[in-house]
Chains A and B, each alone.
Chain A
Amino acid sequence: MRRSMSFAVFVAVVVLGASALTAPPRNLAVVAPQKTESAEVKIDNFSFGPPTLTVSVGTTVTWTNRDDIPHTVTSSDDPKAFKSKVLDTEEKFSFTFTKAGTYPYFCSIHPKMTAKVIVQ
């Protein structure tokens, strides 16, 4: 009886050991779910708010026109990193920043309206 128990334990150890050796390696590190960041800029009373927005790489920024006249969101860079169509009241424009840097922009209808997005 004792011999058969020992044999059974031996077999169990061998099987478990073999399965441990043949199993594909498991990544034990905890992977956080991919976080999609977003930020908002409001266009109102002839200004972008906030005038300077700091975000991390991969962030999608959405501009919403809350003014009662049309505006655009146009990159000041050459070539332009982003450029919206003419946004009427309550229309939105989104852009995802995939590279770090400073992105100044303006309204092409009212060029004195300027702001920037800093991507870190």
Chain B
Amino acid sequence: MSGGLLGTAAPLTADVVLLLETTMGVALLFGAWLARTRRFRQHAWCQSAIVLLNLAVIAIAMTPSFRLQVFPRIPAKLSKPYYALASVHAGLGTAAELAALYLLIAAGTRLLPEKLRITRYKPWMRGVLLLWWLVLALGFATYFRWYLPRLFR
């Protein structure tokens, strides 16, 4: 395992994930702006690509790290910020990704039966975007707690 890109104690994977997630967060805002300017096709492509890329990042990098470093210690050590931040980030992150996947399928395909589709997309999409940024903020907090602990001492 090699050292990271950002000069912290983090491994390369963690730094790449942080940079990717930050880019994805900004790209989602750009995608929302596309919808506001009524460029719905580009909006759909942009948001769908980000949701699928994030799914890959979760599967390849985040889940293995969580399983190895956090999962064996919870719930016993949830009182420690190291585990609490990562656990809340993982829980809300899973919810945000599932909600985003649902929106992608409901709004972009005809896979779901009529009953399971939503009609008022705007509040749902805004809500998921807000949740996504909250999860991103928690991801930053987790990164700082794990790899820049001097900030917390």
Chain A interface residues (CB < 8 Å from chain B): 46, 67-70, 86, 88, 106, 108-113
* Contact A68 to B1, CB < 8 A, known contacts A111-B11, A113-B9: no
**Are the CB atoms of B68 and A86 closer together than 8 Å?**
yes
A-B contact pairs, 25 of them (CB 8 A): A46-B9, A46-B149, A67-B149, A68-B82, A68-B149, A69-B145, A69-B146, A69-B149, A70-B69, A86-B69, A86-B72, A88-B77, A106-B1, A108-B1, A108-B11, A109-B11, A110-B9, A110-B10, A111-B1, A111-B2, A111-B4, A111-B11, A111-B12, A112-B3, A113-B9
Nearest CB in chain B: distance from A106 CB, A: 8
Nearest CB in chain A: distance from B14 CB, A: 9
Q: In the assembly, what is the distance between CA of A109 and CA of B69, in Å?
A: 9
Asked if B39 lies at the interface with its beta carbon under 8 angstroms from chain A, I say: no
What bracket does the count of chain B residues touching chain A fall in?
10 to 19
Asked if B102 lies at the interface with its beta carbon under 8 angstroms from chain A, I say: no
Asked if B147 lies at the interface with its beta carbon under 8 angstroms from chain A, I say: yes
Q: In chain B, what residue has the closest Cβ to A107?
A: B9
> Count the A-B residue pairs with Cβ separation under 8 angstroms: how many?
37
* Contact A69 to B3, CB < 8 A, known contacts A88-B73, A109-B11, A111-B11: no
- Determine chain A's interface SS by DSSP, over half rule: loop
Q: In the assembly, what is the distance between CA of A67 and CA of B145, in Å?
A: 13
Q: In chain B, what residue has the closest Cβ to A108?
A: B1
Q: In chain B, what residue has the closest Cβ to A85?
A: B72
Q: In the assembly, what is the distance between CA of A68 and CA of B77, in Å?
A: 12
**Are the CB atoms of A110 and B11 closer together than 8 Å?**
yes
Report B68-82 CB contacts with A as 1/0, cut-off 8 Å: 110011000100101
Contacts of A106 in B (CB 8 A): 1
Using A69-B145, A108-B11 as known contacts, list a sample of 14 further A-B pairs with CB atoms less than 8 Å apart, ordered by residue number in A.
A46-B9, A46-B149, A68-B82, A69-B82, A106-B1, A109-B11, A111-B1, A111-B2, A111-B3, A111-B11, A111-B12, A112-B3, A112-B4, A113-B9
